[in-house]
Amino acid sequence: MLTDQKIAEKASTEKVLHLHWWSDKLLSFTTTRPPGYSFVAGQYARLGVRDASGVVWRAYSMISAPAQDFLEFYGVLVPGGLFTTQLKSLHAGDGILIEKQSYGFMTPDRFSDGEDLWMLATGTGIGPYISMLRDPYVWGKFRNLILVHCVRHRNEFAYHDELAGYARTPPFALPSPARLKLVRALTREATGDPNLLQGRITSLLESGALEQAAGQPLHERTSRIMMCGNPEMIEDMRALLHRRGLRPVRRALPGHFVTENYW
């Protein structure tokens, strides 16, 4: 167990500012930002909450943009999870530990070229893309931004109003900003809506429905892909992309996709 001194060296205690429950399981919250805390959109923080046995640490993606003076996080309550059990009783004004360093390699600067950025998410894996879209970088770097969000039930489309606003009007006044296309899919209830796809991202890619809804082909020359969420979705997508001749970005080698497992 870490001593209080070690904890203070590694993390700072920040204040919870605001909580928003999207459903009984999905929570967003903001905190004060540790002094000098720096990150790139797409990275994650390690948060700590105290319980009877010490501190429980978990990785949470930044939802806020690097330029914002607070930090924002989005998560799902994991049944019986040590961290989320504590999170459930969190209130504005409470303290939360945030490690001084940020982590993660699923950032858009990993791509050296490409015209269209595909951002594929299941569930809370949409988090890092919110931060990217609140930051001007991707709007200036790509021609098309395609955000695909697949959830089980429709009440899990968190942040949709904000995203729909960005799809109507890019949030940054750039000479020719990218256009954002939102593609949403449901797996465990009938969509009953022509604007919502039915099925997993993987099946939608195989059937051609994903590219049709995006209005863009997924092609090794033009497409760069990020995948975030359920680790099995990422494994299955990797196999599908490999079959199409797409390769992961490696440290020194350019490629077509980067990934972040969410648990």
Residues that bind ligand NAP (CB under 6 A): 76, 78, 122-124, 150-152, 187-188, 200-202, 229-230, 232-233, 236, 262-263
Choose among 81, 136, 111, 88: nearest CA to 255.
111
Minimum CB distance to ligand NAP smaller for 21 or for 221:
21
Report, in Å, the least distance between residue 55 CB and ligand NAP.
17
Report, in Å, the least distance between residue 87 CB and ligand NAP.
11
Give residue 164's region: left, alpha or beta (phi > 0; psi -120 to 50).
alpha
Q: Which residue is nearest to ligand NAP (CB)?
A: 123
Report, in Å, the least distance between residue 123 CB and ligand NAP.
2
Report, in Å, the least distance between residue 221 CB and ligand NAP.
25
Minimum CB distance to ligand NAP smaller for 144 or for 191:
191
Rounded Cα gap, residues 52 and 187, in angstroms: 38
Minimum CB distance to ligand NAP smaller for 119 or for 151:
151
Minimum CB distance to ligand NAP smaller for 145 or for 210:
210
